[in-house]
Amino acid sequence: MTRRALNARSARISRPVPFGRVAAVTLALLVIGSGVAPGQAQAQSVFNSGGLGLQTDPMDARARGVGGVGVGLSGWQMLMTDPAAAAGLRLPSISGTFQPSVTQVSGAPEAGGTRFPLVGTSYPFGRHVFTAQFGSLLDQEWAVTAERLVDLAAGPTPALDRYESQGGIGQARLGWATRIGEQLAVGVGVGSLVGSVERRFTRELESGAVEGGLENFRQVGEWRVSGATAIAGVNWFPSDLLHVGASLEWVGDMTLAPVRGTEGVDRSYSMPLTLRTGGTFTLAPDVRLVMGVSRADWSGVDGDLGGDAARDVVWGYGGGVEWARGTVRGRAFPLRMGYRVQELPFHVRGEAAEEKALSAGFGINLADAQDLPLARLDLSVERGSRDAGALSEEYWRTTVSLRLAGG
């Protein structure tokens, strides 16, 4: 069946919204997401202040729903953690993911916000698929306040100090993927680090505490991020019951360059080589078991940060179950549940940190043609915690992904 005939038939079956119209809307989301950088919430987590920030993997709602496994999922999709997973996409597509969350540190009020961890587009050309994606990497949104007495000529004066960090580090990447026979798919991607970080220090003196009045003190610095990144991955299908994937991600030295009159010189930080592997095993016709593991060595950052700021090797483990029998008005409605444990790369207050999360979610094809989804929505909800010695926080995180495809 030709592509024109397939599109005509899909219009009769599900009456999808014209791809050109929805593409414009989703492209706007892509531009907005790339402009705001990976984090847009104020003080999302105190763990963001450790080292170079809180690691935020660029994964969609489906991957989150089965335990945060970023490689080896069944089917075809765009994932920055698994470049080979796009090899079977047969129609041009655009996808976007947004992620609202609410975090509460022990003894502190809740803080929340929304980030765009993954947006991208794909275009098949013959047996090849080309992709362009933007994803998150490190979140550096945090704020700390402290009350203190400042020694002035008039004597000790109450003051409120506020330290703020805004911004984050993401990655923009172009990719290519293809299938080799029926049992193998490969993919690669190259790109650069993007984003910026702004640090502010403000000191507010108690009103009327000093005769004649003193102006509050404020100091601001901003740094622009640069650096190269590349990834290679493979997906293997040894049987109808097993799907295995692996990827190796390299990030070169990350450079922070001062801008807008900020004093100082460029600083570079060694970034890790990250290995991810995972797979999906079909336990029954409608039940899939998903498992994965990741490994990254951050030991090279210690010298760059001038102390014992990073762990050597950090591991991540995740797994979950996907039940595909559910339906809503005749459409597939898979249900998912998972659990993930992720060691965080940077110490917080001198303590090693770890994140754990229980997740659940679902997916639904809003419009499709035969076996080709033209509009797909996935949603996951996570209940997680982060711990570093006596410091702990809990969070709720919702991830919503929308993928649109058409001729």
**Is the pLDDT confidence value at 248 over 90?**
yes
pTM above threshold 0.85: no
Task: Compute φ and ψ for 20, nearest 5 degrees.
Answer: -60, -35
What is the model's pLDDT at position 264? Answer: 84
Residue 107 burial class via C-beta count within 10 angstroms: exposed 0-12, middle 13-18, buried 19 and up: exposed
What are the structural domain ranges in the chain? 3-405
* SS3 category, 236: strand
pLDDT in tens, 40-64: 334 468 788 888 889 999 999 999 9
pLDDT in tens, 192-219: 999 999 988 888 877 655 555 566 778 8
Closest CA to 55 of 287, 346, 341: 346
How far is Cα 317 from Cα 137, in angstroms, rounded to an integer? 18
Structure tokens that stand for 205 in this block: 């003196």
Q: Are 323 and 286 in contact (CB under 8 A)?
A: yes
CA torsion 356→360→366→368, rounded to 10°? Answer: 80
Residue 5 burial class via C-beta count within 10 angstroms: exposed 0-12, middle 13-18, buried 19 and up: exposed
Structure tokens that stand for 342 in this block: 């992720």
What is the model's pLDDT at position 123? Answer: 96
DSSP labels, 87-153: TT--S-EEEEEEEEEEEEETTS--EEEEEEEEEEEEEEETTEEEEEEEEEEEE--EEEEEEEEEEET
Instruction: Give every CB contact of residue 203 below 8 A, 6+ residues apart in sequence.
Output: 150, 159, 160, 161, 162, 216, 217, 218
What is the model's pLDDT at position 147? Answer: 83
CATH class for the region spanning 3-405: mainly beta
Closest CA to 395 of 403, 379, 383, 387: 383
Q: Are 250 and 272 in contact (CB under 8 A)?
A: no
**Is the pLDDT confidence value at 182 over 80?**
yes
